[in-house]
Chain A
Amino acid sequence: MNEKSQRKIFNLLVKKGVENFVGVPDSTMKHFIDEGLKKGKILISTREEEAIGIATGMTLSGGKSLVFMQNAGFANSLSTITSLVQLYQIPMILLIGWRGFLKNDAPEHTKIGEVQPKLIKTIGLTTKIIDEKNFTKICDWAVKQLEKKKFVGLIIKREDID
């Protein structure tokens, strides 16, 4: 996704009331993260499960939270998702960078990239793919889900190889 759209997505989510952005960096969404860092609104944790824990605490305090991570971190987080977020019904947006979407992505990403849609389906997480054309509508949808106390995922495809 291009830089301009990523920066717009961050600002749009803030405008819609998302207060807490916690996660582990991913190059697929580096401009999104950079925009948040510039605004002083990003908290970077050591691991993705930790980010989910911190965001859970913030949500318990009454704010809207988003956790960002690469799909490698999503795989790390499965037990935290099932035994914390889903068990307690914690409203949260999970923004996941889809490495291995392209078959010729780096080798460490290919397997998780391939199984990611099945993993998401298996754990019963509702997700939408967010892109340069649909982001206004998708951000709207995601924040509405938060207001309905739902836990949802937004996926950014990695469509270029560096």
Chain B
Amino acid sequence: MIRKKAIEILANEIGDQPIISSNGFMSRDLFESYEKKSNFYMLGSMGLASSIGLGIALKKQKQKIHVFDGDGNILMNLGSLVTISSLKPKNFIHFIFDNQSHESTGGQPTNSSKIQLEKIAEGMGLKTFKISTQNQIKKIISKIKNMDGPILIIVKISNSKYRSSRVDIDPPNIKNRFMESLKK
């Protein structure tokens, strides 16, 4: 399963709820699959999607906050998992799309293939799941529906030659419409 397919299925299941997507192809795939005002496309600041999501989750406790992260991104900010698991926001759902590579910069390998990210997450006390098929995505969404977070779901994906288009919304506009959507 390629990232775009996984994102399409997940974004449809998540519907109008907020998503913070990491930089590079992640945000581009989400933009092309399910554009909406409650998507915060993080275009720069690699590694920080989970931190931005955590900040929102702590302040908007009645809304479920979803983060679409990559393996390269989380490895760059592993400390984020420490902060998330120490604060335990119940409304925080963290997806890590793991293709064991930096696909956005040309497919160079990350070291996620050499470690067991799920064991790190479990060791921190996060509710951790690992999935790899379209069927499992649908199942996991119904499984976690009434489950308290923080939840971490590793979605194994494969690389693809397909390239989604760039996010063509001005960053201050991405911010403004996202902030408006949170008020609802």
Contacts and interface: CB of A to CB of B under 8 A. Distances in A.
Interface in A53-67: 53-63
A60 B182 contact: yes
Given A54-B51, A88-B172, A61 B45 contact: no
Nearest to B18: A60
B131 to A, nearest CB: 26
Contact of A54 (B42, B54, B179): B54
Contacts of B107: none
A14 to B, nearest CB: 16
Contacts of B56: 57-58, 60-61
Interface stretch (A28-36, A75-83, A99-107): A75-83
A50 interface: yes
B134 interface: no
Nearest to A149: B172
B44 A83 contact: yes
Nearest to A51: B51
B145 interface: no
A50 B48 contact: yes
Contact of A47 (B45, B77, B179): B77
Given A60-B40, A60-B179, A89-B175, A80 B48 contact: yes
B174 interface: yes
Interface string A66-92: 000000000000011011100111100
Nearest to A49: B48
Nearest to B53: A57
Nearest to A83: B44
A61 B182 contact: yes
A46 B80 CA distance: 7
Q: In the complex, which range does the number of interface residues on chain A fall in?
A: 20 to 34
B60 A84 contact: no
Interface string B159-184: 00000000000011011001100110
Contact of B77 (A49, A57, A79): A49
Contacts of A50: 48, 51, 77, 79-80, 83
A54 B54 CA distance: 6
A45 interface: yes
Given A46-B80, A50-B77, A50-B79, A57 B44 contact: no
A62 B44 contact: no
Contacts of B44: 79-80, 82-84, 87
A59 B52 CA distance: 10
Contacts of A46: 79-80, 82-83
Given A58-B59, A60-B40, A60-B179, A79 B45 contact: yes
Nearest to A90: B175
A19 to B, nearest CB: 8
Interface of A: 20, 22, 43, 45-47, 49-63, 79-80, 82-84, 87-90
19 contacts: A46-B79, A50-B48, A50-B80, A51-B51, A54-B52, A57-B51, A57-B55, A57-B57, A58-B56, A58-B59, A60-B175, A60-B182, A62-B182, A80-B44, A84-B45, A88-B172, A88-B174, A88-B175, A89-B171
5 smallest beta-carbon distances between A and B, as pairs = A57-B55, A83-B44, A53-B51, A46-B79, A53-B48
